[in-house]
Structures are given as C-alpha cells and as structure tokens.
Amino acid sequence: MTESAPVDPTSTDAWKQLASIADGFSPDLRGWFATDAERAERYTFQAADLTIDLSKNLLTDEILAQLLQLARETDVSGRFDAMIAGEHINVTEDRAVLHTALRRPKDGAGLVPPKGFEVDGQDVDADVHATLDKVYAFAEKVRSGEWTGVTGKPIKTVVNIGIGGSDLGPVMVYEALKPYVKAGLEVRFVSNIDPTDVYEKTAGLDPETTLFIVASKTFGTLETLTNARLAREWLWNQLLSAGAIDDVEAARTDAVAKHFVAVSTALDKVAAFGIDPENAFGFWDWVGGRFSVDSAIGTSVVIAIGPDNWREFLSGFHALDEHMRTAPLEQNLPVLMGLLNVWYTNFLKAQSHAVLPYAQYLHRFPAYLQQLTMESNGKSVRWDGSPVTTDTGEIFWGEPGTNGQHAFYQLIHQGTRLVPADFIAVANPAHPLTDEAADKPGQDVHALFMANFFAQTKALAFGKTADEVRAEGTKESVVPARAFAGNRPTTSILAPALTPSVVGQLIALYEHIVFVEGTIWGIDSFDQWGVELGKQLAVQIAPAVEGDADTLASQDSSTKSLIAKYLELRN
Ligand code: F6P
C-alpha cells in the first residue's frame, strides 16, 4: 500500500473555478465557431495515427485552462509515472499496475523506465518477452499446421473460452482485425454460462480440427471453468462418436493435451484441469483483466492474425503510452479527453457517454469499453477507503453508426439529457465498394458512410433554429418539434485505416482516459470488488435453484417466490 491519500479534487482552486464557470454556463458552439476561425485548428490534436478534433465540445479556453490546472493539482502526470514504474497504485489489492509493460518493444532503446527494470524482484521486460516468444512460437505452429489435433489433423477453428476481460478484449480485436485473419482459420468465443453459448459455438465444429483456449486470469471463474468442462466433454464425446479415439483414459488425456491450451496467472490450477503447463501461457497479477487484451489473453487473436500483425498491434499501444508519458498536458489526448469527461460528469451533470464507431469492424468496441470504463471507475470510495467527494464513472454505451442513427440518436439530438459522444472513423475501409446502380453510378459507399459521420457531429453541434425550420415552410405548430437546440458535444476521432497499430492506439487511448479520470476522482481504477457479492450469492443460491428446500426457505421473500415460480415453470 504505497499510495498517499488522494487529493480531494473538490478542494482544488481549479475545481472551484470550474464550478463557478459551470454556474449559469450557456454553451454557444455556433457563436464560438463564428467568432473564432481557428477554433477547429486549435482544438485538433494528433497522437500517433489518431487525429482527434475536440472543437465540437462544450469547451472554451478558460475552461480548458482550469481543467489542465485540475490535472496538475491532482498530479495526473506524477501518478502515471508511478504507475509505469511499477508502484503499487492498485492499493486495495496491493499490486503494481503494469499493462504498459506488456507492449514495451524488445530492443528497449530509450525506454522509461529503462529496460530490465525490476518490480517486486521481477525483471518485467524479460518475463513479458519470454511469454510473448512462447505465444508466437505456438501461434506459428498452429498456423503452419505443425500443431495438430489428436488424430494428426491441423487446426481450423480456435474456440476461446473466457469471460469479462478474458473475452471482451480478444473478441473485439478479432472482429476489428478480421481482414488480417489467416484464410481457413476461424476463432469463436464462448463466454456466457448460459449453456446455449457453448452449444451454439461448438455447433458444426469438427472436433479433430478444433483447439480450445481456456483464458482466465484466476482460473477460478465459474463461467469459464464450467464452459471448459462442457467443451472437454463435447470434445471427448465427438471424438468417440466419430471413432477418432478409443474410450480409454490415455486417449482422453491425449485429446486434452492436443486440443486444450490455457492462458492464466494460476498455472497450478491449469495443471489440475489436465492441461499440460507446457501448453499454458502465463501473465501476472499486475495485469488487470480489463487491461489484459495485449497479454497472452490475446493468444487466440495472435493465432488468427499472426505474430507480425500482433507486434504491430503492440507497437500501437506503445505509441500511445509514449504520447501519454511525454506530450505536454495541453496536447495530451488521453489527458484532454479524460478532463472533458470530468467536466461533463461533474460540472454539466452528464450521466452517460456514447461511443459511436463509424467502422463496422469496431462493432464490439463499445461493449469492450463498457468493462474498461465502468469496472474501472464505477466506485464510491477512494483508494484510502474514504468516500468519494464527487460523482464518478460515466455509463459508457454505443453501437456502430449508421445503425445507431436509426435507433437512439433521437435522444442525443433532441432529448433532455446531455450525452457527450465520441465518433470514431477511418479514412480507408478494408473493402471499398462502389454502388453502380446508385442515382450517381459509381457512388463510393464509404464516402456516403463518412458523410453521415460528418453530418451527425455537425447537426449535434449546431442544431437547427426555429427560424431555419420556419424558413422551410414548416407550419408553426410543428416548428418546436422540428427544431434542434445544438450544443450537443462530440469528439471526432479519425485514423487512416483500421490497422493493428490503430486498434492498439485506440485501446490505449481509452485505457489512459480511464486512468486520468480515476486519478482526479482519487479512486482505485484497478480493483473490481463490486462484482464479488453477486458471484458469492450465486454459489449460495444454486442449491435452491436445483430444488433444495432448506436453501429456498432461507431466501428473502422476493427471491424465494421467484425461484419457486422458476421451479414451477421448469419442465
Ligand atoms: O468478475 C469480474 C472479473 O474478475 C473481471 O475483472 C475479469 O475480467 C473477469 O472477471 C474474468 O476473470 P478471469 O480472467 O479470472 O476468469
């Protein structure tokens, strides 16, 4: 427990200034743009390949100056330096927080902290690269066909079994990087303990060419271990019914050895499951589950896209880490975006934050961010155990554009709630297509898609006045319904293409935004005690759900009658 008591952000001068600005604040994006020709240029920043335009936010130079002051008064930069050096900033678990070490390049020139730095007696770089090399070697064997199933056939399908950070990261990156997946290889992801998940994901698979990766940091998660056992049964049964193995213990053991590998920090538990520790890839307690996508937890994706693309993915993270570490606060994008979130959450009372990727391959990015942001910053006590002094943790949500436009954008445009939104797009799609039968034959479909991206942020910022509506000849009674207030804040993130590096950059950007907000609020963004109670109760309640009368009788009246109804409905 090395962290000192957090600064109470509400006691800082900057906070008081911001509160007084927010009092009676009347944003005017139309006016601000009309009177300031340089606004867009001044508020557009670059981090590696990401061009990020903050100008359509409810931001003035005065607000920005105070937000930056708040970052200084809460020592965001100092705490980031402490994090990457391996200090135990995860206070409630007394752990270092070192996801940034997962992507430090092997050559190590100019690294901060220097290559070979030790944390709790561990040479972090050496261990990270030893594991990476092991994952790469295994991935190459699977990709080349050298690794075969128990009957000698090469692997065609990888099934990742994991949940939370051991699922959301890999599945999001696999989907984002689909164009980089080796032809003939498919990865499926089983996470839910609803038995339909494992049933559907194994449906139609050939057991002789299927490899299961059991991904669990703790190797103690109920869902993952249950699904792993179901998958093991499925494998044995399928191999037996196909006559591929005999019903002898040795064949079963061989089947597990050739069709199951694991990723975990608990290698003893991996061995107890029957997986050869040789076929297990480790990581460390200083990697939080939701920060683990670039650890061995991503093994399924390494197999799919290959080590070279994975290296590029890691280099994208590292580029953003370096930006976060070295860019002055005034140009530091994770800092600026984290500060904006604080401005909206604490001063303008926004409760949620939309993430709207205009890139279909990023369709799982909002779900991924939900865990990253909400499991990290949904906290009511600070790292010293005292209550938080202000609201924390926005509700992150979203869907890809343009789908969302036809679903929930109505509320963002005209609802009563403030919903800051991040729009994310790439200039070059993986599959550019033209619409030859369009009114204008040869229509570039991605250009049309991007026109929506630009139009939405413009509409949200500038709205449409009642006079503009009237000028279109709208009858007066409908004018209010057709007017748009504008001043709905958006951030536009633009990248050249959805490359492995860009995906790594995007993830690291949000990891560090989470860090900035958590630091200002004084919370431990790296624990997740709030998920424990439900897990414990599920284990306690399970006998009642299976009909144990005593356990049922001991429940509260609502839970008891719900379980009784369930038992009555069950065939
Ligand atoms: O229950 C929450 C959680 O602990 C997440 O933080 C984590 O990503 C997930 O469960 C899965 O945990 P594990 O990788 O240990 O199975």
One-character DSSP codes across 275-314: --GGGEEE--TTS-GGG-TTSGGGHHHHHHH-HHHHHHHH
- What is the Å distance from ligand 1's center to 302 Cα? 21
- Which residue's CA is the nearest one to ligand 1's atom 6? 289
Cis amide leading into 366 (omega within 30): no
Determine the residue type at 510: Y
Choosing from 406, 458, 546, 565, the catalytic residue is: 406
Q: Is the CB of residue 83 less than 8 Å from the CB of residue 113? A: no
- Ligand 1 atom nearest the C-alpha of 166 is 14
Burial class (CB in 10 A: 0-12, 13-18, 19+), 85: middle
Q: Is the CB of residue 229 less than 8 Å from the CB of residue 214? A: no
d(CA 506, CA 496): 12
- What is the Å distance from ligand 1's center to 166 Cα? 7
- Which residue's CA is the nearest one to ligand 1's atom 9? 164
- Ligand 1 atom nearest the C-alpha of 292 is 8
- By residue count, the chain amounts to 571
> 3-state DSSP call for residue 59?
coil
243 contacts: CB under 8 Å, gap ≥ 6: none
| Helical residues (DSSP H) of 86-167, grouped into ranges | 124-144
- What is the Å distance from ligand 1's center to 371 Cα? 10
- What is the Å distance from ligand 1's center to 507 Cα? 18
Return the best residue to mutate from 90, 99, 166 for the ligand 1 pocket (most ligand atoms within 8 A of CB).
166
Q: Is the CB of residue 164 less than 8 Å from the CB of residue 155? A: no
- Which residue's CA is the nearest one to ligand 1's atom 16? 216
Asked if domains 33-74+327-521 and 119-305 share a fold, the reply is yes
- What is the Å distance from ligand 1's center to 103 Cα? 21
Residues 119-305: name the CATH superfamily. Glucose-6-phosphate isomerase like protein; domain 1 (3.40.50.10490)
- Ligand 1 atom nearest the C-alpha of 163 is 11
Tally helices (H) and strands (E) across the chain: 24, 15
Q: How remote is the C-alpha of 3 from its chain's centroid?
A: 26
> 3-state DSSP call for residue 512?
helix
Q: Is residue 535 flagged as an active site residue?
A: yes
- What is the Å distance from ligand 1's center to 528 Cα? 9
Question: Containing H/E element for 496?
Answer: strand 490-497
Choosing from 375, 394, 399, 511, the catalytic residue is: 375
Q: Considering only CA atoms, which of 57, 114, 48 is closest in space to residue 494?
A: 48
- What is the Å distance from ligand 1's center to 405 Cα? 33
Q: Which sequence spans correspond to the domains of the chain?
A: 33-74+327-521, 119-305, 533-570
Q: Is the CB of residue 269 less than 8 Å from the CB of residue 145? A: no
Distances (CA, A) of 9 to 15, 87, 520: 7, 22, 6
Neighbours of 551 (CB within 10 A): 17
Q: Is residue 565 flagged as an active site residue?
A: no
Ramachandran assignment for 86, one of left (phi > 0), alpha (psi -120 to 50 degrees), beta (any other): left
- Which residue's CA is the nearest one to ligand 1's atom 10? 164
- Ligand 1 atom nearest the C-alpha of 218 is 15
* Angle made by CA atoms 86, 88, 90, in degrees to the nearest 5: 120
**Confidence at residue 2, expressed as pLDDT on a 0 to 100 scale:** 52
Q: Is the CB of residue 412 less than 8 Å from the CB of residue 403? A: no
**Confidence at residue 1, expressed as pLDDT on a 0 to 100 scale:** 43
d(CA 523, CA 510): 17
- Which residue's CA is the nearest one to ligand 1's atom 1? 531
What DSSP line would sit under 325-357, residue for residue? HHS-GGG-HHHHHHHHHHIIIIIS---EEEEEE
d(CA 487, CA 203): 49
- Ligand 1 atom nearest the C-alpha of 375 is 6
Return the best residue to mutate from 161, 223, 531, 537 for the ligand 1 pocket (most ligand atoms within 8 A of CB).
531
Q: Is the CB of residue 322 less than 8 Å from the CB of residue 315? A: no
Distances (CA, A) of 433 to 179, 263, 314, 438, 442: 15, 39, 30, 12, 9
Q: Exposed e or buried b for every residue in 113-142, given b needs 16+ CB within 10 A?
A: bebebebeebebbeebbebbebbbebbeeb
ipTM confidence:
0.98
**Confidence at residue 248, expressed as pLDDT on a 0 to 100 scale:** 73
pTM for the model: 0.98
Strand partners, 395: 352
Choosing from 458, 535, 546, 565, the catalytic residue is: 535
Question: Containing H/E element for 52?
Answer: strand 50-53
Distances (CA, A) of 516 to 60, 72, 221, 329: 20, 11, 29, 11
d(CA 90, CA 135): 27
- What is the Å distance from ligand 1's center to 266 Cα? 13
Return the best residue to mutate from 99, 163, 281 for the ligand 1 pocket (most ligand atoms within 8 A of CB).
163
- Ligand 1 atom nearest the C-alpha of 223 is 16
Determine the residue type at 3: E
Q: Is the CB of residue 530 less than 8 Å from the CB of residue 92? A: no
- What is the Å distance from ligand 1's center to 224 Cα? 10
Determine the residue type at 467: D
Distances (CA, A) of 179 to 157, 186, 424, 429, 533: 17, 12, 19, 10, 41
For ligand 1, residues with CB inside 6 Å are 163-166, 216-218, 221, 224, 289-290, 375, 528, 531
Fold held by 33-74+327-521: Rossmann fold (3.40.50)
- Ligand 1 atom nearest the C-alpha of 215 is 14
Mean pLDDT per 10-residue interval, the chain, length 571 residues? 83 98 97 98 98 98 98 98 98 98 92 96 98 98 97 97 98 98 98 98 98 96 97 94 80 91 93 91 96 98 98 98 98 98 98 98 98 98 98 98 97 98 98 95 97 98 98 98 98 98 99 98 98 94 96 97 96 84
